[in-house]
């Protein structure tokens, strides 16, 4: 039997996915809703990390901490000026562009040519420092803005569900499209791809490698900082809130494949839905994390097996 | 020759006067505390203690001596806390040990306390495991109710309110965070209310990377309980309310049991009608003059409101010890223990503090929690009825709709 062409494989995959989604929607509609919303949040946070890890190969273990700081920045702006956190995303983005640039020059640039372990250690130390800084400035007491639209809901048939979570999915879709456009249709984006593939080769053809790293790193930090403002709407924030998302983002990037930005969205929704499905069975909520990481292991093993076979 | 004699006499007189001056230097009574300074509970407890010390010194001190507070940071670390206790006793030479928070930390401190057997009036720690480790320690006094005392008082409070307001409760749903705190608390609750139908389900707290409660709330909604209780952390408080509202889950009684509440909880309209157990509420200042004094003095001194019951508890801690030393007239250990046993102190927590035996130790202070309810952004006391500042809102409706 001849192997399916790539296009036909994609169609087959899409149809299978729709069929699974339809079954879930009929049997456990909350699972589909929760999966989409949860997956949207994971994708939104993972995409900036995928940009710097997948495109230019910088490992940033302080990714979640930048999101945390962005959330605190938006919180502070909201409390002192009264502006909505969604509006605060804009000044947060601008502020964290500067934060990202300073962080790059202060910690990343010196270790760019060093082994990856050095990058890991530096950014791990940075993560610890940022967490302690937040603890000193705001203490460990959680903060949460009471925003009425955070608990907006809709009812379809007998199903009543929260709707704000779809903002994460919408945000992830918009961000993905923007990043793809940036990478494919702008000189800076194409330079970033070139640097990620071969920094020396990129330098030889006249690309300013240092400036490209600076731009991509700052952009990633600015994006995740602004996402922190959106995160603040539906979640309590405290100094340790970001670190679990660093780990999850890594896992999602590993599941999707390093450099595969569209795959981040699929992987996130898939993993989010798997978590929601497991949680929907009474008494199995504690298995959700196990399923998340088990799926990751399975995907990586299948991918490795395929590479060996081909 | 005469000049030499006069010089010598002047020298001797000078040395003598210096000695007298040294003898007349003010005496100091030292209290040593080990509190988690990086946490709001420890921070406010320490500030309240300092306030109490300043008030006492302004009123003339204790036995004519200045009261001094030496505070070490436990950092919520049992080993560091134990080392801090050792330092307070051996280096700072404190006279009495006070303060403290967290049962896990206290388990690390107890061996050092037992090594030196200094008079200790400990504010925090609730686990009965700590009490078991303190069997036979008659120099030990404990303020915070043990877990089983809290549980018994919670049942008493709920049933008193059910009776007064004609509320029928058969089925309870308990959503608990899946760590040790939540699991043990749920098991205690289920044992306490074993004659009710209690259904429990765990969730991952936002404090450890969770924050999506939709699944457990959907299951609770399907059970249609008469009372819904969630056991988690501060970070879970508002998101649980928001997600419950979003899915249309509105149980007749919505009860929350975090160790503390986030700063903005009262500002949300969703907080109205949420019940909780605690040892203190700011509204007690309306019915208790000591509570009012504490509230006003704390704000004047520290320019912030006390938000945790560890603040009035710390204030109580210092006053109880100071008054006992005054009654004893000495720092002699046996006399001080006897004086502490005679304590009758009207506390800013609302009730009169007296020490009496609990299951294992001889000197247990507070034995009960209060039932409170968020109403219009403030925690009101519902039970004990003699300290009540408002009526119980029933049934619960989001935003008081």
DSSP-derived 3-state class of residue A273: helix
Q: Which CATH number characterizes residue B36's domain?
A: 3.40.50.2300
Q: How many structural domains are present in chain B?
A: 2
What domains can you pick out in chain A, each with its CATH number?
32-309 (1.10.3470)
Domain co-membership, B65 together with B185: no
Asked if the peptide bond before residue B194 counts as cis, ω within 30 degrees of 0, the response is no
Q: Is there a domain that residue B227 lies in?
A: yes
Domain co-membership, B50 together with B187: no
CB–CB of B262 and A283 under 8 A? no
Q: Is there a domain that residue B135 lies in?
A: yes
Domain co-membership, B37 together with B138: yes
Domain co-membership, B301 together with B269: no
- Contact (CB, 8 A) for A161 and B246: yes
Q: Is there a domain that residue B93 lies in?
A: yes
CB–CB of B215 and A283 under 8 A? no
With CA atoms as reference, report the closest residue to B347 among B143, B147, B153, B151. Answer: B143
Domain co-membership, B52 together with B79: yes
**Which chain A residues contact residue B220 at CB under 8 A?**
none
* Chain B nearest CA to A234, separation (Å): 7
Residues 6+ apart with CB under 8 A from B249: B217, B218, B220, B221, B228
β-sheet with B120-122: strand ranges across: B66-73, B28-35, B96-99, B120-122, B140-142
With CA atoms as reference, report the closest residue to A152 among A164, A167, A166, A170. Answer: A164
Ramachandran angles phi, psi of A5, nearest 5°: -70, 165
Print pLDDT tens along chain B (401 aa).
778 777 777 776 766 555 555 444 579 999 999 999 988 889 999 999 999 999 999 999 999 999 999 999 999 999 999 999 999 999 999 999 999 999 999 999 999 999 999 999 999 999 999 999 999 999 999 999 998 999 999 999 999 999 999 999 999 999 999 988 899 889 999 999 999 999 999 999 998 889 999 999 999 999 999 999 999 999 999 999 999 999 999 999 999 998 888 888 999 999 999 999 999 999 999 999 999 999 999 999 999 999 889 999 999 999 999 999 999 999 999 999 999 999 999 999 999 999 999 999 999 999 999 999 999 999 999 999 999 999 999 999 997 75
Residue bearing tokens 């330092």: B87
Q: Is there a domain that residue B5 lies in?
A: no
Domain co-membership, B196 together with B233: yes
With CA atoms as reference, report the closest residue to B273 among B260, B286, B248, B255. Answer: B255
* Chain A nearest CA to B244, separation (Å): 8
Domain co-membership, B245 together with B382: yes
Consecutive H or E run containing A140: none
Q: Which of B215, B220, B263 is the best substitution to test chain A (most A C-beta atoms within 10 A)?
A: B215
CB–CB of B215 and A152 under 8 A? no
Residues 6+ apart with CB under 8 A from A38: A165, A272, A273, A275, A276, B212
pTM of the model: 0.86
Domain co-membership, B54 together with B98: yes
Domain co-membership, B250 together with B384: yes
Q: Return the number of other C-beta atoms located less than 10 Å from residue B188's C-beta.
A: 17
**Which chain A residues contact residue B245 at CB under 8 A?**
151, 153
A25-31's contacts with Cβ under 8 Å and 24+ in sequence apart are A28/A277, A28/A280, A29/A159, A30/A159, A30/A161, A30/A276, A30/A280, A30/B214, A30/B215, A30/B218, A31/A273, A31/A276, A31/A277, A31/A280
Determine the residue of chain A that is closest to B267 in CA distance: A146
* Chain A nearest CA to B224, separation (Å): 15
CA B384 remoteness from chain centre: 18
Q: Is there a domain that residue B18 lies in?
A: no
Please tell me the distance from the alpha carbon of residue A283 to that of residue A263, in angstroms, as a whole number.
31
Q: Is there a domain that residue B59 lies in?
A: yes
Token pair in block for residue A188: 């800076």
Token pair in block for residue A186: 């702008």
Count of CB pairs separated by less than 8 Å, A with B? 117
Quote the domain boundaries for residue B313. Answer: 28-145+287-353
Asked if the peptide bond before residue B395 counts as cis, ω within 30 degrees of 0, the response is yes
**Which chain A residues contact residue B38 at CB under 8 A?**
135, 139-140
DSSP-derived 3-state class of residue B115: helix
């Amino acid at each position: 039997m001849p192997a399916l062409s790539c296009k036909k494989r994609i169609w087959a995959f899409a149809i299978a996915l729709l069929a699974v989604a339809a079954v879930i929607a009929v049997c456990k509609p909350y699972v589909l809703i929760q999966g989409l919303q949860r997956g949207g949040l994971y994708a939104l946070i993972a995409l900036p990390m995928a940009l710097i890890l997948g495109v230019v190969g910088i490992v940033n273990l302080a990714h979640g901490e930048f999101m945390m700081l962005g959330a605190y920045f938006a919180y502070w702006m909201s409390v002192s000026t009264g502006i909505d956190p969604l509006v605060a995303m804009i000044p947060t983005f601008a502020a964290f562009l500067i934060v990202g640039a300073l962080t790059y020059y202060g910690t990343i640039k010196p270790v760019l040519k060093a082994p990856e372990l050095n990058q890991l250690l530096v950014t791990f130390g940075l993560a610890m420092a940022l967490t302690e800084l937040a603890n000193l400035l705001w203490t460990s007491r959680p903060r949460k803005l009471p925003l009425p639209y955070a608990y907006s809901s809709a009812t379809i048939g007998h199903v009543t569900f929260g709707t704000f979570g779809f903002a994460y999915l919408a945000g992830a879709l918009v961000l993905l499209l923007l990043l793809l456009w940036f990478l494919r249709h702008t000189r800076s984006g194409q330079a970033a791809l070139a640097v990620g593939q071969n920094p020396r080769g990129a330098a030889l053809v006249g690309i300013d490698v240092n400036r490209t790293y600076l731009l991509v790193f700052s952009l990633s930090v600015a994006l995740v900082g602004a996402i922190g403002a959106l995160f603040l709407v539906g979640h309590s924030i405290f100094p340790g809130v970001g670190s679990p998302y660093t780990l999850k983002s890594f896992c999602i990037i590993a599941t999707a494949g390093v450099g595969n930005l569209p795959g981040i969205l699929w992987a996130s929704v898939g993993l989010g839905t798997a978590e929601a499905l497991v949680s929907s069975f009474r008494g199995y909520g504690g298995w959700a994390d196990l399923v998340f990481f088990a799926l990751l292991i399975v995907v990586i093993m299948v991918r490795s097996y395929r590479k060996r076979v081909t | 020759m005469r000049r030499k004699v006069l010089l010598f006499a002047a020298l001797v007189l000078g040395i003598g006067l210096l000695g007298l001056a040294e003898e007349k230097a003010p005496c100091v009574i030292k209290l040593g505390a080990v509190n988690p300074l990086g946490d709001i509970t420890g921070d406010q407890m320490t500030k309240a203690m300092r306030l109490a010390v300043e008030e006492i010194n302004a009123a003339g001190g204790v036995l004519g001596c200045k009261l001094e507070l030496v505070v070490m940071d436990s950092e919520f670390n049992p080993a560091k806390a134990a080392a801090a206790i050792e330092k307070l006793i051996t280096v700072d030479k404190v006279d009495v040990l006070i303060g403290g928070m967290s049962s896990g930390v206290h388990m690390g401190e107890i061996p050092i306390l037992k090594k030196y057997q200094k008079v200790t009036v400990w504010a925090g720690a609730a686990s009965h495991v700590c009490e078991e480790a303190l069997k036979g320690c008659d120099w030990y006094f404990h303020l915070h109710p043990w877990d089983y005392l809290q549980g018994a008082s919670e049942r008493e409070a709920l049933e008193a309110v059910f009776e007064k307001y004609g509320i029928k409760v058969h089925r309870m749903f308990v959503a608990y965070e899946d760590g040790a705190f939540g699991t043990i608390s749920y098991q205690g609750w289920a044992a306490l209310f074993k004659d009710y139908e209690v259904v429990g389900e765990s969730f991952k707290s936002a404090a450890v990377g969770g924050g999506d409660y939709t699944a457990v709330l959907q299951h609770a909604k399907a059970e249609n309980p008469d009372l819904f209780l969630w056991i988690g952390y501060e970070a879970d408080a508002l998101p649980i309310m928001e997600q419950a509202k979003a899915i249309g889950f509105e149980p007749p009684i919505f009860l929350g049991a975090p160790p503390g509440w986030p700063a903005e909880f009262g500002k949300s309209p969703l907080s109205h009608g949420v019940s909780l157990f605690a040892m203190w509420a700011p509204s007690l200042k309306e019915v208790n003059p000591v509570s009012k004094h504490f509230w006003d003095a704390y704000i004047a001194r520290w320019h912030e409101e006390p938000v945790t019951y560890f603040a009035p508890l710390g204030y109580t801690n210092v006053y109880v010890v100071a008054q006992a030393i005054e009654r004893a007239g000495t720092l002699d250990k046996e006399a001080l223990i006897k004086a502490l046993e005679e304590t009758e102190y009207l506390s800013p927590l609302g009730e009169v503090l007296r020490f009496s035996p609990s299951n294992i130790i001889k000197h247990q202070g507070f034995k009960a929690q209060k039932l409170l309810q968020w109403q219009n952004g403030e925690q009101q006391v519902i039970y004990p009825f003699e300290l009540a500042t408002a009526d119980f809102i029933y049934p619960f409706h989001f935003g008081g709709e």
